[in-house]
Structure 1
Amino acid sequence: MNSDDWLEIGTIVAAQGLDGELRVYPSSDFPERFLEPGTRWLQRSAEAEPEPVELLEGRMIPGKGIYAIVLEGVEDRDEAEALRGARLLVPDSDRPQLAEDEYHVVDLLGLEVYHQPSGDRLGTIANIIPAGNDLLEVQLDKPLIAASPEPEPPPTPEKRQKRSKPPKPQTTVLIPFVKEIVPIVDIPNRRVEVNPPPGLLEST
């Protein structure tokens, strides 16, 4: 299988406790991926072949947005820490049925983002950030440059004034992934269209 045959569902970020539990940061919105026992696949590094592993049990850690899971054969903290950074995968054929206006994260990454009112390309989707409403992190083609600050008065003999540093260009922007702001998601043509509210794409 090549990379297109797999769906990433999460990344192991740390050991949980002393008995081999693993903390997993999810890249899937389907809790059953981490709660229901069964076979998953583990990719220890970007170059490694995925290997099957049995998920024995899992639970959500309240308030953290992550899961704690138990994998067969991982029995202590050292073995758990050795898997830090490994990815959990499932076959691409194991996609859950989606409702209308639901999307797999992997299908959204890399889509071109266009400003619907002007037709201009803004950039590409670099990440999906879970929140009350998910946020699209867009890597901008042209960084936003903040307005220049008001000129500072010349320093006086009585007081040396600290000069502010020029603002750094903003290279990404977060766009709420809601229908009103992202009305068009065209997976086959690898593009989305956004209609952001005033100020969202303006530097401050």
Structure 2
Amino acid sequence: MDASEGHVVARIGKPHALRGEVTVQLHTDDPESRFVPGVVFDTRAEAGSGVPRQLTLATSRVHRGIWLLGFEGIPDRTGAESLRGTRLLLADPEAMDEADDEGWYEEDLVGLTARTPAGEVIGEVTALEIGGAQDRLVLRRPDGEEALVPFVEAIVTEVDPSVGRLVVDPPPGLLDLDAKGE
């Protein structure tokens, strides 16, 4: 499988302790079934980073609410540090559960045009930030500024990748927060 394909299930963060474990930012609603030792993930990393095309999960655990993963062949903190920023992709798309159809992956959202219910363009999705309480869409506004929009059904009322758009019904002031001092 080409590592540019597949669905991102996590993004590797900083190393944890000395034994090669890393923290991860989750991009899946079902980490318990995704992070099982022996699972092989395709990777997406910076060109020339030296990150292997695939990583095999050796250990997984939750520590203080944060998922920690260890991989075969990554025995120490130095090796773990080299993985920072790497995206883990589901190596076998056939293994996806039906339940995952209810969620959105970052690659499904990036590039979509964000519009109000009235059709006004308010920006383009450039990223999805995964948060503890809720996820946030990162929008590049028409003026070039960045805005964060809580990715909740009450605000993002429609997502339609087939036509390249999503509908954002922002509460008053949400998109004006960055306009301080104007």
TM-score relative to the length of structure 2:
0.78
Where 2:90 maps in the other structure, the secondary structure is strand
Give CA-to-partner distance per residue, 1:130-152, whole Å, 9 cap, x none.
33232222111125xxxxxxxxx
Percent identity reads: 30
Distance (whole Å) between structure 1 residues aligned to residue 21 and residue 9 of structure 2: 17
Change (3 A) 1:76 1:2: closer
Show the counterpart of 1:51: 53
Task: Name the counterpart of 1:6.
Answer: 6
Query: Structure 1 unaligned runs (5+)?
Result: 144-170
Q: Is the 8 A contact 1:13 1:85 kept in 2?
A: yes
The letter for the 2-side match of 1:107 is D
Maintained 8 Å contact 2:3/2:42? no
Q: Distance in 1 between matches of 2:57 and 2:17?
A: 17
User: What is the root-mean-square deviation of aligned Cα atoms in Å?
Assistant: 2.7
Kept in 1, the 8 Å contact 2:8–2:106? The answer is no
Unmatched 5+ residue regions in structure 2?
none
Is the contact made by 1:122 and 1:142 (CA closer than 8 Å) also made in structure 2?
no
The structural deviation recorded for 1:13 is: 2.5
Structure (1/2) with the larger helix percentage = 2
* Counterpart residue identity of residue 55, structure 2: V
Q: CA–CA distance in 1 between the matches of 2:130 and 2:164?
A: 21
Q: How does 1:75-94 map to 2 (within 5 A)?
A: 75-91=75-91, 93=93, 94=95
Please give the secondary structure, in 2, of the residue aligned with 1:6: coil
- The 1:78/1:102 distance shift into structure 2, 3 A limit, reads closer
Q: Partners in 2 of 1:97 and 1:85 — Cα distance?
A: 28
Distance (Å, rounded) in 2 between the aligned partners of 1:20 and 1:80? 5
Q: Is the contact between residue 34 and residue 57 of structure 1 (CA under 8 Å) also seen in structure 2? A: no
Is structure 2 residue 163 aligned with structure 1 residue 189? yes
Which digits, 9 at most, give the CA deviation of each residue in 1:9-52, with x for residues without a partner? 22333322122222223333331366312212234533679623
Deviating above 6 A after TM superposition, structure 1's stretches of 4 or more consecutive aligned residues are: none
* SS of the residue 1:122 aligns to: strand
Letter in 1 for 2:148: L
Cα distance, 1:126 vs. partner?
1.6
Looking at structure 2, the residues matched to 101 and 7 of structure 1 have their Cα atoms a distance apart, in angstroms, of 14
- Does the 8 Å CA contact 1:135/1:176 hold for their aligned counterparts? yes
Shift of the 2–109 alpha-carbon distance from structure 1 to 2, 3 Å rule, reads: same
CA contact (8 A) 1:133 1:176 kept: yes
1:145-184 correspondence to structure 2 within 5 Å: 171-184=145-158
